[in-house]
Amino acid sequence: MAFGPVENGVIAETLIATPKHTLPPNPGFAYSKIWLIPPRTELAIPNVWVDSMRACSPPHSCYVKGDPFDIDIHYRAWIAKHPSALNIFDQIVEVAKGKQIVMFLDYDGTLSPIVKDPERAIMSEAMRTAVRKLAACFPTAIISGRNREKVFDFVGLSELYYAGSHGMDIMGPAQGSNGIKASGVKSYDGKGNEVVLFQPAKDFESTINKVFNMLEDIVRKVNGARIEHNKFSVSVHFRCVEEEDWDVLADEVRAVVQFFPTLCLTEGRKVLEVRPSISWDKGKALEYLLNALGLEGRPDVFPVYIGDDRTDEDAFKVLNKQNHGLGILVSTAVKETNAQSSLRDPSEVLEFLQRLVCWQQNHT
């Protein structure tokens, strides 16, 4: 473990405070007002917006001035409320025992580390192997803000379900390698395999293309800015833009989006995302997939969702509402979240997935 002695103290506190075989309480909806993606009005207030953008991808970690043995007091309090899924692993599997585990994984910041160039967000071979083994044990889906095809290219595993464009573009095998059949609209992928396809924002394709073309002209003029077409949404990246230029770029993006009353603007990790104003998000995609697999609303099902970003909060909320399963936020910093548990970074996600596979293999 990479943790120093101070964090071991935190671990001890966490385990004492958490009764055996129960998971930490769902944070519930107390935070939902803070965590809901800011509406346009909030995005319009310059300081609020810039602080919020900084906070969702903080440059600092929980350590005090880089000292690996001294953990920030706020982080200590936070980790007690959202204990590491590695430290409470035995409790998690005790609760999940005898149930059908279903895995939902975000991509950027969860399976791959956050990098400056979105085209270089490559997943490690070790992670790919772990996800492959995971999918052989449990139904597994990737739910990403990316274009579904792009996230598929990164992951490269055809046995998974993929939900791209923040869940607005869902595709998966009609019959999973674990034998579970999905229901829904049947289609065929490029290789002629039968798949299930669901695209609730299909009617927005041409509007998204139009807004992308307009935004492309703006982004081209701002140093460091990038734009990404995610099929049913568009990402405008701020990560490599000087902070002093953020407001100008955001103002221009907002001005364009105003022309499209059926689109809205949301915020992620140093990214503004333009998406259809429909009632669909990663939480709805999670529900759709559970339903397609015939696993929705069943007490003998244990969904696990792992993600690092604001859009993942919609999925954590769904799990809270259903009061079963487990949400795990990936973060090295204090963040308001609806997740019950946490992991620090993709390397800890890898360790968690590997342990889950081992546990399952030893219990079947």
- Enumerate the β-bridge partners of residue 84: 342
**Pair 362, 90: CB distance under 8 Å:** no
The residue nearest ligand L263DTV3 at its CB is: 145
Q: How far apart are CB 114 and ligand L263DTV3 at their closest, in Å?
A: 4
DSSP 3-state of 97: coil
Q: Out of 35, 75, 107, 246, point to the residue binding ligand L263DTV3 (CB under 6 A).
A: 107
> Scanning the structure block, which residue is given the tokens 């990246």?
237
Closest by Cα among 252, 247, 227 to 237: 227
To ligand L263DTV3, the closest distance from the beta carbon of 245 in angstroms equals 15
Report the DSSP pairing between strands 100-105 and 186-188.
Answer: unpaired
106 binds ligand L263DTV3 (CB under 6 A): yes
Which window, 35-43, 82-90, 142-150, 330-338, contacts ligand L263DTV3 (CB under 6 A)? 142-150
To the nearest whole angstrom, how small is the minimum distance from the Cβ of residue 292 to ligand L263DTV3? 20
Q: Taking the CA atoms of 208, 213, 218 and 219 in sequence, report the sign of the dihedral they define.
A: positive
Which residue in the list 51, 67, 72, 106 is annotated as catalytic? 106
Of 26 and 235, nearer to ligand L263DTV3 (C-beta) is 235
| Region 162-181 residues binding ligand L263DTV3, contact defined as CB under 6 A | none
Residues 247-306 that bind ligand L263DTV3 (CB under 6 A): 268-271, 273
Q: How many CB atoms lie within 10 A of CB 277?
A: 13
Catalytic residue status for 106: yes
The CB-of-104 to ligand L263DTV3 minimum distance in angstroms stands at 11
- Shortest CB 186 distance to ligand L263DTV3, Å: 26
- Only segment of 100-108, 249-257, 294-302, 317-325 that touches ligand L263DTV3 (CB under 6 A): 100-108
Region of 82-90, 114-122, 210-218, 242-250 interacting with ligand L263DTV3 (CB under 6 A): 114-122
Alpha carbons 74 and 24: distance in angstroms, whole number: 18
State the minimum distance, in angstroms, from the CB of residue 345 to ligand L263DTV3.
Answer: 12
Size of the site for ligand L263DTV3 (CB under 6 A): 24
**Residues in region 65-84 near ligand L263DTV3 by CB under 6 A:** none
How far apart (Å, rounded) are the C-alpha atoms in residues 106 and 305? 8
Nearer to ligand L263DTV3, 82 or 231 (CB): 231
Would you give the binding string for ligand L263DTV3 spanning residues 28-57, x where CB under 6 A is met? ------------------------------
The vertex-269 CA angle with 266 and 288, nearest 5°, equals: 60
Is 337 a binding residue for ligand L263DTV3 by CB under 6 A? The answer is no
CA distance 222 to 242: 9
Tell me the CA distances in angstroms from 62 to 65, 134, 222, one per residue in order: 9, 30, 32
Question: What is the footprint of ligand L263DTV3 within residues 215-254 (CB under 6 A)?
Answer: 228, 230, 235, 237, 239
Q: CA-CA distances (angstroms) from residue 58 to 54, 274, 315, 326?
A: 6, 22, 22, 24
What are the phi and psi torsion angles at 263 (to 5°)?
Answer: -115, 160
> Residue 121: which residues within 8 A CB-CB, separation 6 or more?
107, 108, 112, 113, 114, 115, 154
Among 13, 80, 89, 118, binds ligand L263DTV3 (CB under 6 A): 118
Token representation of residue 231: 């099929």
Binding mask of the shown chain, residues 311 to 330, with x at each position contacting ligand L263DTV3 by CB under 6 A: x-------------------
The string over 282-307, giving b where at least 16 C-beta atoms fall within 10 Å of a residue's C-beta and e elsewhere, is bbbbbbbbbebbebeeeeebbbbbbb
Residue 313 CB, nearest distance to ligand L263DTV3 (Å)? 11
Residues forming the site for ligand L263DTV3 (CB under 6 A): 106-109, 114-116, 118, 121, 144-146, 228, 230, 235, 237, 239, 268-271, 273, 309, 311
Active site residues: 106
